[in-house]
Structure 1
């Protein structure tokens, strides 16, 4: 498999970001070796300086307005399968979510830990992704993902590398563990370079070995916390996402009881959409418990120990003004069903596939009356750019949810005063 041209690979990165947060790459341009967002951030591909032709070295620039020396952080990914979208998604789910969280800062995309947190790094504010696993055995992937998170690596090896964190803005750290039984490699890269002392300290932690080829990794940003301050200095650039409620409470008329309005879309009156950031059982956990129990969070998929496997899907509701509002919700699926779904993605065999699950969110004005309703899902497809369109709730044996899906609803009842349409005079101007 030949290495893709820079812009071809960045197109896959863009597709992965868009799948994770619909609308986040709106207006972003692909040119030269970069993807440049009108919101002030960019991602670029640089010539590979280590590894083979399947390596892609990426640089994230959270705020390109800081000239002439634009602060950035680096990462590299390798295409381990026939589909380079897998490599792009690996970046999106690790370094990419750290970029989004650095610019959004509400805990929607990655976790935060302060200098005194038991999972933190003394003297630094930590933004860290979940662990992503790639390997031959799904169960081994999950086991090592959980082991890597449980090991609390950066907290335990902090003394081995923090003296070498030189950026006054943010420092990128990749933590990698992978290989075959008897030949596992632990590696820590600081600002793009292998850090020998930190890698040795991680090796000494004695992480468990898999029974088959497996790799797991996560990414973190470390921001210096000035003396006497509680928070670091964040970039001035921000994501233009729908604002969270100032009170921290959701709008029961349009979001459901555990939505925090992290839909990632501009407020487009013609295409109203709401996203519930987490499945209800996961949202109910404390931050500490969530960090401990969530072993996988790729954006569209969340796996939480003792709670289940969750898939993000679309739930469309027709309005009486001709529009359709889409709720991005979560469904619970048996492990065998979600593994079959993943295998179908790799085989490009999603067309016509239908499967069943349970709705795991309160929705709109109907609230918890539809929580745990059985659903039939389908409608997913692999797009031309290689991304996978989210599955859609097609039907339900629950009487209320079946009515929600099958009937047309008053706009004011579903949306309240959100997403008002422009008047004809506004449009004519």
Structure 2
């Protein structure tokens, strides 16, 4: 017998337990049966195999901003927790809908990839080739096996993390399938266009999009805003930029955990400005963020945003 939990639509900031229940529902949609036997307790969603999601203290007082953590095996301690932060646009409940959609397609996809053993079903594995020297660890969470042919049913929405005040909000439903030449096409509905693009599946050692010397799990790229053309342009630019490789000199020094490092990549392009933010394990990587902002992003006539999430699993 199959059943679905029923929730009243939340019109204000949810409690931590409410948020975990909503994320559990989202995981049920992404991976039916994955949350069986899980429980919500004290702001955590605990899986019966040891995985966990958790609400973390917010680093901003924005009501639609959420700091989240996940672990493939929380019994390994605090260092096993990989962090992300997400902001929704507009008022509740739309802002919360946006957070849930954005999480599911970026850091949520990476979480499922980590928690399910790393087969490539939910996120892509980028191989950065062999690195000599440096720290190593035995927690690989699995490698991608062959072609993944994964599908992403995308609901692209707002991230912005405080950079979006005054910009129009909206809800987009993008349906993306397969991976062609390293990205997938998004079809949008509604007045705000959302596009999700994934990296090509089954990549091998020496992948040019990879962080050199690292095995990295990466979500697809989401672009969103009020103009379909601007969204597509920024999405393609972020895909083509291969920022993990290009910014390796700035990123590698801050990947200093013995456990996997979480990398959030956010980009906002307006007609007059560029805002770029890279966070590693929840902390702004200033040098990498500044270097990303200085890259030659396309000129746009409308505001557009793009984001993806990656987990630097271990040096190779």
* Band the TM-score falls in, shorter-chain normalisation: 0.5 to 0.7
1:79 maps to: 88
The Cα of 1:138 is off from its aligned counterpart by 3.1
2:110 maps to: 98
Between the aligned partners of 1:31 and 1:215, the Cα distance in structure 2 is: 34
Instruction: String of CA shifts for 1:108-129, please: whole Å, max 9, x gaps.
Output: 1111111222111122111110
The Cα of 1:179 is off from its aligned counterpart by 4.7
2:201 maps to: none
Between the aligned partners of 1:210 and 1:74, the Cα distance in structure 2 is: 31
Between the aligned partners of 1:213 and 1:27, the Cα distance in structure 2 is: 43
2:67 maps to: 57
Between the aligned partners of 2:263 and 2:214, the Cα distance in structure 1 is: 13
Decide whether the 8 Å contact of 1:184 with 1:209 is kept in 2.
no
Question: 1:16–1:52: structure 2 CA closer, same or farther, 3 Å change rule?
Answer: same
Q: Which runs of 5+ in 2 are unaligned?
A: 1-10, 130-205
Between the aligned partners of 1:139 and 1:17, the Cα distance in structure 2 is: 31
**More contact order relative to length (CA 8 Å, sep ≥ 6):** 2
The Cα of 1:102 is off from its aligned counterpart by 1.9
1:168 maps to: 258
Larger mean Cα displacement after TM superposition, 197-206 or 22-31: 22-31
Decide whether the 8 Å contact of 1:12 with 1:85 is kept in 2.
no
Instruction: String of CA shifts for 1:88-116, please: whole Å, max 9, x gaps.
Output: 12112111111111233111111111122
Between the aligned partners of 2:245 and 2:265, the Cα distance in structure 1 is: 12
Between the aligned partners of 2:270 and 2:12, the Cα distance in structure 1 is: 25
The Cα of 1:70 is off from its aligned counterpart by 4.7
Between the aligned partners of 1:206 and 1:141, the Cα distance in structure 2 is: 16
The reply on whether 1:88 has 2:100 as its aligned counterpart is yes
Question: 1:179–1:51: structure 2 CA closer, same or farther, 3 Å change rule?
Answer: farther
Question: 1:143–1:19: structure 2 CA closer, same or farther, 3 Å change rule?
Answer: farther
User: In structure 2, the residue corresponding to 1:17 is in which secondary structure?
Assistant: helix
Decide whether the 8 Å contact of 2:230 with 2:302 is kept in 1.
yes
Question: 1:29–1:124: structure 2 CA closer, same or farther, 3 Å change rule?
Answer: same
Between the aligned partners of 1:214 and 1:14, the Cα distance in structure 2 is: 29
Residue among 90, 93, 108 paired with 2:121: 108
The Cα of 1:209 is off from its aligned counterpart by 3.9
Question: 1:141–1:26: structure 2 CA closer, same or farther, 3 Å change rule?
Answer: farther
The Cα of 1:137 is off from its aligned counterpart by 2.3
Question: 1:31–1:86: structure 2 CA closer, same or farther, 3 Å change rule?
Answer: same
2:34 maps to: 24
Decide whether the 8 Å contact of 1:13 with 1:89 is kept in 2.
no
Q: Which runs of 5+ in 1 are unaligned?
A: 231-429
- Larger gyration radius, structure 1 or structure 2: 1
User: In structure 1, the residue corresponding to 2:74 is in which secondary structure?
Assistant: coil
Question: 1:211–1:23: structure 2 CA closer, same or farther, 3 Å change rule?
Answer: farther
Taking the TM superposition and a 5 Å limit, the aligned residue runs for 1:302-317 are: none
Decide whether the 8 Å contact of 1:77 with 1:88 is kept in 2.
no
Structure 1: which 4+ aligned runs deviate by more than 4 Å?
none
Question: What is the root-mean-square deviation of aligned Cα atoms in Å?
Answer: 1.7
2:304 maps to: 214
Question: 1:51–1:174: structure 2 CA closer, same or farther, 3 Å change rule?
Answer: farther
Q: TM-score, normalised by structure 2?
A: 0.67
The reply on whether 1:136 has 2:237 as its aligned counterpart is no
User: In structure 1, the residue corresponding to 2:259 is in which secondary structure?
Assistant: coil
Instruction: String of CA shifts for 1:306-326, please: whole Å, max 9, x gaps.
Output: xxxxxxxxxxxxxxxxxxxxx
